[in-house]
Chains A and B, each alone.
Chain A
């Protein structure tokens, strides 16, 4: 069976509102950079298919797929849209290449939350119309707050542990030029914050950002011709959440467990903590990485591990070593590919941490935002 590799990536944005560039122009710029990185490929000649990950209501266009191909060079070529997080695009590309019918695929995802004036209303629109919307909550993040509380009570995690994670992650983001929201913050200032919706305060929720990211994925044969350092996608899986939240045990991240198991099985991983070097986990809400660590069995005692800095730079396994969404911002469905971007840079040696060995295997995780809990997990290596 064909192996699948990422051979080029490019991005545009990751700073606060970018009104001078329309989303199409942002994608074009990101695509140009990605094609150059992939060995100067010409999309009109060298690419077999184009995949975009976007949701209509984030775009404000019914059938956002329409506007996809032009700025990628995909006109009159096979192209389609997946309505989900950008990691699901990687899943499709992975499957397509493994059939042997496609060799080079371009993936695109972008988020332009600055153009959305009524974000609250649109998030409410994603909730179940019969059982959740009528609750008419004052804060749209109430489901996440319930999830956080359920998890924290079950595992005995206090805000102090959460805060420890947040301030460390923000600090790590200072090394990341794309992290416009990274900063140094004291635990006291975190604990003093007012609740946005208990138990979450402002620093627990990642701010929004505009970004467009493009990736070029290829079969082993083509990858080896175009680059010396292909970044392999070893395995990838997605597990669906549900809109009917009442069915779920919110204290446990079932989707992460399922997806993780499938990925570990496919890559023969028995002890993820030892066999994986770094994790890029969705931290658009600060409690999520802690839940995922538990669900993936990477940490059996969260409180202890967070306090003993096992996930820090010189620790056993790195967790969001360059900061995650809390520092970079939340680009809606482009979050997954943003995590892939930073992992790609680490695996290629473009982003290194002094005193830490270069990672060889990175696990990527992304959910949907803010709900349902559909999770996609991928394992990249070099």
Chain B
């Protein structure tokens, strides 16, 4: 069932590239973007000259230390003299950039677009990149309480644990799985073989969040090449089509709603499913990369996306369903927990992973079952935005 038959220019992803994700990279933002773009273009058998549009995304300017940083880092993608704009929806940016790229190509305005996402968190070095998050709060109602960003996650995690009867052990299984998955990911920063006990014994930052529950601070960049249908088959014989996009933005009043369930992720997912003609996501999505900056977030988002019944995502994890050889592999890349979290680039990494999985090019990370439809999802702002993209072979 196709919701809208007027999308004449179908859009395909034909190449993807990522830099290493590390706590500190030597490269400047432009250089990181260049590395990722070059890799993506090489996979697509294209050159910078072939690109007519660059759509980019990056999270808070405060990290890189440059205001109006759109023009600053996108130079590395060859944006000078070409169409370029930067979108920014907080943590949801990584999956949102290809969504914006999708409509630029589907509308006929662009034929071959380079989609880039970059984050250089190490520049905000003093005292620590986390301090930048002091400024996302409502300046009058929340900031005077001197909040620590991890408060919100902890409050949400604890509410989820209480409402759904999920224990810290269940949640820690996600960190264990993702970090183990990341061992097969060449760009991963935080890959490791750990146990549930390691997670529970790691330093408590804001109970119930321990250090190993959180993804690390990173530098990194990612790029995709998106082209229109008529052009796609010149460059590859397995274009991966963008079948659905969805995004939804809730209020900033996160203290006024049920934290145990991300309604905005569900809304965004519904929009994408409708576009892609998906009626039963649990059966029709073969592989998914939901956003996992914290381990409980994977479970939280799985339920929001409809990939698990409410409060039951932990059971799927315990049963091994979400492993790479399971029925619904989740975060085969290693997710943010294993690979790293350069905010915008992390979301794009997930889209790149789905792209490679659908083409069978994920190497050791390739999931066991045959995959045709994949989903990537990101989330951000002040617990507000859900962004979803569905790709299909």
Contact = CB atoms under 8 A, between A and B. Distances in A.
A46 interface: no
Interface string A246-275: 010000001100100010000000000000
Interface in A67-101: 67-70, 74-84, 88, 91-92, 94-101
Mostly, the B contact residues are mixed
Contact of A255 (B28, B81, B107): B81
A92 B9 CA distance: 16
B86 A239 contact: no
B327 interface: no
Question: Size range of the interface on A?
Answer: 35 or more
B62 A374 contact: no
Given A55-B61, A63-B59, A83-B68, A77 B108 contact: no
A96 B62 contact: no
A1 B381 CA distance: 35
A176 interface: no
Given A63-B136, A74-B249, A125-B67, A95 B109 contact: yes
B86 A83 contact: yes
A98 B275 contact: no
Given A57-B61, A61-B135, A70-B251, A240 B79 contact: yes
Contacts of A55: 61, 67-68
A241 B85 contact: no
A88 B85 contact: yes
B21 interface: no
Interface string B113-155: 0000000000000000000110110010000000000000000
B107 A98 contact: yes
B296 to A, nearest CB: 22
Interface in B3-43: 4, 6-9, 28
B83 A238 contact: yes
B334 to A, nearest CB: 26
A242 B71 contact: yes
A281 B92 CA distance: 34
Contact of A372 (B68, B268, B380, B381): B68
A237 to B, nearest CB: 6
Contacts of B102: 99
Interface string A15-48: 0000000000000000000000000000000000
Given A98-B108, A100-B7, A242-B75, A126 B67 contact: yes
B7 A242 contact: no
A305 interface: no
Contacts of A240: 54, 70-71, 74, 79-84
Given A67-B252, A70-B252, A101-B4, A239 B108 contact: no
A201 interface: no
Given A75-B249, A81-B89, A84-B86, A100 B71 contact: no
A125 B60 CA distance: 13
A69 B382 CA distance: 13
Contacts of B68: 55, 57, 83, 126, 243, 368, 372
B267 interface: yes
A126 B80 contact: no
A309 interface: no
B106 A76 contact: no
Interface string B38-81: 00000000000000001000011110011111111011000111
A198 to B, nearest CB: 25
Contacts of A241: 71, 80
A81 B59 CA distance: 11
Closest 5 CB pairs of A and B: A100-B6, A240-B84, A98-B107, A95-B107, A79-B249
Given A77-B248, A82-B87, 12 more contacts: A62-B133, A62-B135, A62-B136, A63-B381, A65-B385, A80-B88, A84-B70, A88-B85, A98-B107, A99-B6, A238-B84, A244-B75
